[in-house]
Structure 1
Amino acid sequence: MNAEKSTDIYGDPNTVKQKVLVIAGPTASGKSATALLVAEAVGGEIISADSMQLYRGLDIGTAKVTPAEQQRVRHHLVDILDPAERFSVAAWQGAALDAIADILARGKLPIVCGGTGQYISSLLEGLSFTPIAVNLHLRQELNERADREGTAAMLAEVAEFDPATAARLHLKDRKRIIRAHEVYRLSGKSPSQLNAESRSQPVPYSYQAFCLWPERALLYKRIEQRVDAMLAQGLIKEVESLKLQNLPIDAPCRQAIGYKEVFAYLAGEASLSETSDRIKQVTRNYAKRQLTWFRRITEIERIETASPQAAAQHILERICLTE
């Protein structure tokens, strides 16, 4: 990318906001391959917006970018955490903004790529976060209550103090239901109220966002093919290695899609065939939730193609980087 084009893209930082590209999409939509093609075309660098690719040792089950792909294009926020570490949306946002500033300072185009909707929204909406520290005693109390009374009763209570949050939660969202109670008990404010109060931070960059949106049947076929490939590539052995680390039961990786199901398989709770089917089902469900999330973001332009090459060409034309 020559100096003239660099000026066209970024403009004068003293008068206009600098551009940041965002490529989002559900799992197995081809967004990583698309981002690689775009980054190579413009000399950009990629910032991962995937909550599980942060973790070292979670490679196969997260479809993490390979070392060869990282040689082609520099990636940020990949392999920065141990499997038992926690990383909040606020922490990711801060790290992503630091990476964006670094990339821009070196005259490159930052390309945020991933499917974790909360991460994408934190940038596009300029959310500032009121930190509510985890209280382990309260969390244990709430978990024990959920065991006794069930998540339905606890979700009904969330509906009383925060109808908007309750409407977005499902009975299976135990962790988020408990977190809603936790936030309310610790702050005296509902999660929705805190979110509303956090939306005053100005957005520091000009984000141009795209979302890959494959036809549903094709997306589901890709998910099934991906799960089959992960199992063939050694997902079971990868989880066996994690198991040897004696990670706590609530470690993030133990709850991640694919890993949770294989941990159950290793515990003798399901056959390999049942495990494969279960991973495919929960991955399809996750993809549906991702699309629901991205549908609510008005700043995102949908790209309805199954080809990373076609998607990359569309993006390059839209950001005026090709002649």
Structure 2
Amino acid sequence: MTGRRRAVLIAGPTASGKSALALGLAQAGDGVVINADAMQIYDTLQVVTARPSEADMALAEHRLYGTVPAAVRFSTGQWLAAVRAVIESVDPARPLIFVGGTGLYFDALLNGFADIPEVPAALALEVQQEIQALDGEQRLALLRREDPVAAARLKVADPQRLTRALAVKRATGRTLSSFQQELSASMLADFLSIDRMVLDPDRDVLRARIGDRFEQMFAGGAVEEVRALRALNLDPSLPVMKAIGVREIGDWLDGVIGRDEAIALATIATQQYAKRQRTWFRNRFGDWPRRAA
């Protein structure tokens, strides 16, 4: 049945207008909007993560928004499994509209994914501390002993990639390269058509939108959401605890900073995040058509 299916992929930085465009397309063509944003998958933080409002979600079918408890570490592999379930449950005649700012989700959806187990944060930190005192050649020599294939792929001893390879080996007993060889097939391989686009507004326009949006969030329920999240007493290393706005609003609630400073800091963090997203999409999805909004 997949051969009849159509998909639209809408990627782009935060505040670029992705959700509104997806909603309009879904309404026009009886489509199903599927979340491709790693933060909007979690419950508790609807306003903080700019999830579509209940009113918008009532206008067209939306899936995978706010479906995962905040206490869960939700992986790309788990997202793909959830997407597969959605695809199987939707009439093949209805277009599937994937929308979000998590590039890895789109990459895995199109190109397949190696489901590498989560590495405990304590182990990753232990590896980071171990390699700090080593020079580049010593780091590569260490990796060669534990994962020769991964070491051969590294032109320089990049600390982040080296740490990941070593931590995966020590956590699982298997090399990172062995997991990467088990790349799954593209979930959209048999689709009849796939339309792709990256929303890429003018930089000044995007910065202005980001500034306005967090001011509105602060007054529109974000504070109450952060209070509710903090009441859960979650592990600070969980992904949801790193959502932009959680720390800033938390510091304001604790009296560490003022309201204006909290908004300013969250706005700056969002602008920096948007810049990283744009760079990622430019480097990885350079052949996707661009739209201003």
Instruction: Report Cα offsets for 1:39-60 as digits up to 9, x if no partner.
Output: 1111101001111111111111
Equivalent in the alignment of 1:189: 175
Structure 1 unmatched ranges of 5 or more: 1-12, 307-323
Supply the AA of the counterpart residue of 1:285: Q
- Contact kept? 1:25, 1:115, Cα under 8 Å: yes
- Contact kept? 1:254, 1:263, Cα under 8 Å: no
Equivalent in the alignment of 2:146: none
Instruction: State how far apart, in whole Å, the 1-side matches of 2:155 and 2:267 are.
Output: 27
Instruction: State how far apart, in whole Å, the 2-side matches of 1:199 and 1:74 are.
Output: 31
Equivalent in the alignment of 2:11: 24
1:236 aligns with 2:236: no
Instruction: State how far apart, in whole Å, the 1-side matches of 2:135 and 2:9 are.
Output: 34
Supply the AA of the counterpart residue of 1:108: R
Percent identity (aligned): 32
Q: What displacement does 1:273 show?
A: 2.4
Supply the AA of the counterpart residue of 1:77: L
Q: 1:150 to 1:243 in 2, by over 3 A?
A: farther
Q: 1:302 to 1:48 in 2, by over 3 A?
A: same
Larger CA deviation: 25-34 vs 198-207: 198-207
Instruction: State how far apart, in whole Å, the 2-side matches of 1:158 and 1:91 are.
Output: 36
Q: 1:269 to 1:204 in 2, by over 3 A?
A: farther
Supply the AA of the counterpart residue of 1:132: P
**Which of 53, 68, 72 does residue 85 from structure 1 map onto?**
72
Supply the AA of the counterpart residue of 1:61: V
Q: What displacement does 1:104 show?
A: 3.7
Counterpart mapping for 1:198-277 below 5 A: 198-199=182-183, 201-202=185-186, 203-205=189-191, 206-277=193-264
Q: How many residues align?
A: 278
Q: What displacement does 1:294 show?
A: 1.4
Instruction: State how far apart, in whole Å, the 2-side matches of 1:233 and 1:263 are.
Output: 16
Counterpart mapping for 1:46-195 below 5 A: 46-105=33-92, 107-125=93-111, 127-134=112-119, 136=120, 139-143=121-125, 149=129, 160=140, 161=143, 179-185=164-170, 186-190=172-176, 194-195=179-180
Instruction: State how far apart, in whole Å, the 1-side matches of 2:44 and 2:107 are.
Output: 27
Instruction: State how far apart, in whole Å, the 2-side matches of 1:153 and 1:291 are.
Output: 34
Counterpart mapping for 1:2-17 below 5 A: 13=1, 16=3
Supply the AA of the counterpart residue of 2:10: I
Supply the AA of the counterpart residue of 1:140: A
Equivalent in the alignment of 2:285: 297
Equivalent in the alignment of 1:283: 270
Q: 1:300 to 1:119 in 2, by over 3 A?
A: same
Q: What displacement does 1:290 show?
A: 1.1
Instruction: State how far apart, in whole Å, the 2-side matches of 1:158 and 1:68 are.
Output: 57
Report the TM-score, using the length of structure 1 for normalisation.
0.75
Report the TM-score, using the length of structure 2 for normalisation.
0.82
Instruction: State how far apart, in whole Å, the 2-side matches of 1:23 and 1:228 are.
Output: 26
Q: 1:242 to 1:299 in 2, by over 3 A?
A: same
Q: 1:133 to 1:150 in 2, by over 3 A?
A: closer
Instruction: State how far apart, in whole Å, the 2-side matches of 1:226 and 1:32 are.
Output: 14
Cα-Cα RMSD: 3.2
- Contact kept? 2:165, 2:175, Cα under 8 Å: no
Instruction: Report Cα offsets for 1:197-232 as digits up to 9, x if no partner.
Output: 244624343422111110111111111111111112
- Contact kept? 1:264, 1:270, Cα under 8 Å: yes
Instruction: State how far apart, in whole Å, the 2-side matches of 1:292 and 1:46 are.
Output: 25
